[in-house]
Amino acid sequence: MSAALVKELRERTGLGLLECKKALAAAGGDVEVAIEELRKSSGMKAAKKAGRTAADGVVSMRITADGTSGVIGEVNSETDFVARDENFLGFVNQVMDAAVAAQTDDVTAIAGGDVETSRQALVQKIGENISVRRIATRSTDSGAVGGYVHGNSRIAVLVELEGGDAELAKDVAMHVAAVNPAVVSPGDMPAELLQKEREIFTAQAADSGKPPEIVEKMIEGRVRKYLSENSLTEQAFVKDPDTTVGKLVSAAGARVVGFTRFEVGEGIEVEKVDFAAEVAAQLGN
pLDDT at 271 over 60: no
Residues 46 and 170 in one domain: no
In which domain, by residue range, is 46 found? Answer: 1-50
How do residues 131-159 score in pLDDT, each as one tens digit? 999 999 999 999 999 999 998 899 999 99
* pLDDT band per the 50, 70, 90 thresholds, residue 284: low
Angle between helix 191-206 and helix 212-230 axes, rounded to 10 deg = 140
pLDDT at 125 over 80: yes
pLDDT at 275 over 50: no
Residue 209 lies in a domain: no
Task: Say what the pLDDT of residue 179 is.
Answer: 96
Residues 107 and 24 in one domain: no
pLDDT at 281 over 60: no
Residue 212 lies in a domain: no
How do residues 251-261 score in pLDDT, each as one tens digit? 999 999 999 99
Residues 105 and 79 in one domain: yes
CATH number at residue 149: 3.30.479.20
Residue 145 lies in a domain: yes
Give me the half-sphere count of Cα atoms (radius 13 Å) on the Cβ side of residue 107. 11
Q: Output the pTM of the full model.
A: 0.76
Q: Among residues 32, 50, 68, which one ends one of the domains?
A: 50
Residues 72 and 170 in one domain: yes
Q: Which residue has the higher pLDDT, 51 or 162?
A: 162
Q: Which residue has the higher pLDDT, 144 or 112?
A: 144
Residues 32 and 109 in one domain: no
Q: What SS3 state is found at 164? A: coil
How do residues 179-225 score in pLDDT, each as one tens digit? 999 999 999 999 998 998 888 888 888 777 788 888 888 888 989 99
Residue 142 lies in a domain: yes
Residues 82 and 15 in one domain: no
Sheet with 56-63, strands from edge to edge, namely 56-63, 69-77, 131-139
Residue 220 lies in a domain: no
- Residue 130 is which amino acid? I
Residue 269 lies in a domain: no
Task: Say what the pLDDT of residue 207 is.
Answer: 76
- Residue 269 is which amino acid? E
Residue 62 lies in a domain: yes
Residues 258 and 117 in one domain: yes
pLDDT at 274 over 80: no
Residue 91 lies in a domain: yes
Residues 40 and 69 in one domain: no
CATH number at residue 19: 1.10.8.10
pLDDT at 47 over 70: no
* pLDDT band per the 50, 70, 90 thresholds, residue 43: low
- Residue 58 is which amino acid? V
Least confident of 16-30, 161-175, 182-196: 16-30
**For 17-40, what is the mean pLDDT?**
87
The alpha-carbon radius of gyration of the chain (Å, integer) is 23
Count of the separate structural domains present in the chain: 2
Residues 60 and 106 in one domain: yes
pLDDT at 285 over 70: no
